[in-house]
Structure 1
Amino acid sequence: MTARPDPVLPHPTTTWFHVHLVSDSTGETLSTLLKSTSAQFETARPLEHVAALVRSNAQLDKVLTRIEQAPGLVMYTIVDRQLRRRLEVKCAELQVPAIPVLDPLLNAFTDYLDLKQTTETGAQHRLDADYFRRIAAMDYTLAHDDGQSTWDLDNADVVLVGVSRTSKTPTCMYLAHRGVKAANIPLVPTSDPPPELFTLRKPLIVGLTASPLRLSQIRKTRLNNLTAEESADAYYEEDRVRDEITKAKRMFAKQGWPIIDVTRRSVEETAAKVLTLLSARRGGDVTQG
């Protein structure tokens, strides 16, 4: 029977202290900073009081009452000058530190960029929205890698099609980091592409190709990816590779799909070309960050 590890207990001389996190947004920034800072003090443990979305005098009144009842450090991110001033005055009366945690960074940015700060509450969450868009794109891309979930392909922004080792997966992953939902379909000599591929209307479909010689060399170093039915020679033999690429190009041309030769392109360059094609398809609307 495996012994369970002992729970981590506070140090016997632990100092507990109140910390009030006051924000006109979600308070996540303050919480992260508090955890990072308090971790540097082994015998200190914060009692965290979170006051998020504080944007009115009535809301601030409740916060000031809690601070008065449990004095301690006050960390805040508030844009409204009048609310900030009220908080600072009250903290001075109670003789507790009030720390505007973003001010040093904002002041440094202001001096360096020679630009005025925005006074928009929660402006940083435009970045959060972009972050969640990228996460959604990544989830979609992982679920639609290598021909998976073909029933859902019409929700993709981009579908990459190509024979084995034409950089489909890494290109899709790069696109996902840019917020693009990217799926990829492998062209396998022993089976036909999924019929769903030829009925798509929403996604941009791009064919990827490469030099037969270069592709043969790449495949020769990737023998661990062969299926049980394939022999090593059949997988990287140059004539077979050339035949695969020729058939793929004919299909791309028949369907009217744009073609990208990845032979001398890095993944970043291939993705950049895909983004250019996507922008043109959307009429110049490039939303990717």
Structure 2
Amino acid sequence: MSTTASLASRKPRTYFHVHLVSDSTGETLNTVLKSVSSRFDAAKPLEHVSSLVRSKKQLNQVLARIESSPGLVMFTIVDPELRRHLEVKCAELQVPAISVLDPLLNAFADYLGLEQTLRTGAQYTLDEDYFRRIGALDYTLAHDDGQMVWDLETADVVLVGVSRTSKTPTCMYLANRGYKAANIPLVPTQEHPKELETLKHPLVVGLTAAPDRLAQIRGTRLKNISAPDHAGTYSDQDEIRKEIIKAKRLFARKGWPVINVTNRSVEETAAEIISRLSAKRAGK
């Protein structure tokens, strides 16, 4: 029977159980699940997370949960014996068990001609990259929302934009990737910091968004914090349009790249920034 015919004859699932089994933190599995499940809007995963599974006793407890709530099993387990035990038991329970990293690991091993490092949590080694990311997070927190403008030259990236254009969450995402990111809010009643005029080392990026979307976000923000808009300008669409026009003039005068975040996730915005930063460093 073809895959298409098989799918057609099977009743679609609205909700389904997914067991994430890891001998480390489980972050890799969580990321993969989110990426894959986003392709199936009609079905929602019911996640069962089992992290730091490093003994047969722990694994048997996990298997008991899988038996009581059968569903997909996604795993990252280094120990061959534990891995084999999980695969055998899942086969007996007739539930699919997927080692999500196998295709990549096998491809790397074939290409590099090297054996894999069988070490649990190898990606979390306290190496230079780890401390670089911690340093980036410290820097980004200290330089959030226009703080320490005198120290912007040491940033990798500086984001500039009007209120609620996702500057802070984008900076935090970049910091988690090891980039020192600062952000400067453009306030309609104030001039931008003079330090922005002379920056040479960082990539400066202007963030903008559609006025109607910003008005909606700002209005919701005011309601959530129970704050009145006394001047009536913060969430007014016409006033926001003026803010954006002023910001775009600054971006154009300085020749900064501009990203419209209206229909972008933080991850998508950060990906474009990283791509631009790589090009800048390569002299392109």
TM-score by length of 2: 0.57
Is the 8 Å Cα contact of residues 156 and 179 (structure 2) preserved in structure 1? yes
The alignment status of 1:163 with 2:162, answered yes or no, reads yes
Report 1:100-179 matches (<5 A): 104=80, 113-114=105-106, 115=109, 116-117=114-115, 124=122, 127-129=125-127, 130-179=129-178
Is the 8 Å Cα contact of residues 222 and 228 (structure 2) preserved in structure 1? no
Give 1:229 shift. Answer: 10
Is the 8 Å Cα contact of residues 207 and 259 (structure 2) preserved in structure 1? yes
The alignment status of 1:247 with 2:250, answered yes or no, reads no
Counterparts in 2 of 1:155 and 1:105: CA distance versus 1, 3 Å: farther
Find the counterpart in structure 2 of residue 268 from structure 1.
267
Give 1:106 shift. Answer: 11
Deviations 1:198-233 (A, max 9, x none): 11110000000011111111111011688x996262
Q: Match of 2:247, as an amino acid? A: A
Helix, strand or coil for the counterpart of 2:189? coil
Give 1:132 shift. Answer: 1.4
Work out the CA distance in 2 between the residues paired with 1:196 and 1:217: 31
Is the 8 Å Cα contact of residues 223 and 232 (structure 1) preserved in structure 2? no
Find the counterpart in structure 2 of residue 198 from structure 1.
197
Same amino acid, percent of matched pairs: 63
Give the gaps of 5 or more residues in structure 2: 1-51, 59-77, 85-98
Q: Match of 1:150, as an amino acid? A: V
Give the gaps of 5 or more residues in structure 1: 1-32, 41-101
Report 1:22-101 matches (<5 A): none
Find the counterpart in structure 2 of residue 185 from structure 1.
184
Give 1:105 shift. Answer: 8.2
Helix, strand or coil for the counterpart of 2:233? helix
Counterparts in 2 of 1:203 and 1:163: CA distance versus 1, 3 Å: same
Work out the CA distance in 2 between the residues paired with 1:242 and 1:222: 18
| Rg larger in structure | 1
Work out the CA distance in 1 between the residues paired with 2:173 and 2:126: 19
Q: Match of 1:218, as an amino acid? A: I
Give 1:162 shift. Answer: 0.2
Helix, strand or coil for the counterpart of 2:158? strand
Find the counterpart in structure 2 of residue 212 from structure 1.
211
Coordinate RMSD, CA, aligned: 3.8
Deviations 1:230-252 (A, max 9, x none): 62621111110000000000000
Off by >4 Å, runs of 4+ in structure 1: 102-114, 124-127
Is the 8 Å Cα contact of residues 106 and 117 (structure 1) preserved in structure 2? no
Find the counterpart in structure 2 of residue 88 from structure 1.
none
Is the 8 Å Cα contact of residues 165 and 261 (structure 2) preserved in structure 1? yes
Find the counterpart in structure 1 of residue 48 from structure 2.
none
Is the 8 Å Cα contact of residues 209 and 259 (structure 1) preserved in structure 2? yes
Give 1:117 shift. Answer: 2.7
| More moved, 253-262 vs 190-199 | 190-199
Helix, strand or coil for the counterpart of 2:161? strand
Deviations 1:263-285 (A, max 9, x none): 11111111111111111101189
Is the 8 Å Cα contact of residues 168 and 208 (structure 1) preserved in structure 2? yes
Deviations 1:89-126 (A, max 9, x none): xxxxxxxxxxxxx865899899984544368xxxx588
Counterparts in 2 of 1:281 and 1:147: CA distance versus 1, 3 Å: same
Q: Match of 1:256, as an amino acid? A: G
Aligned residues: 191
Give 1:169 shift. Answer: 0.4
Counterparts in 2 of 1:167 and 1:111: CA distance versus 1, 3 Å: closer
Give 1:135 shift. Answer: 0.9
TM-score by length of 1: 0.56
Work out the CA distance in 1 between the residues paired with 2:204 and 2:239: 25
Deviations 1:59-88 (A, max 9, x none): xxxxxxxxxxxxxxxxxxxxxxxxxxxxxx
Q: Match of 2:148, as an amino acid? A: S
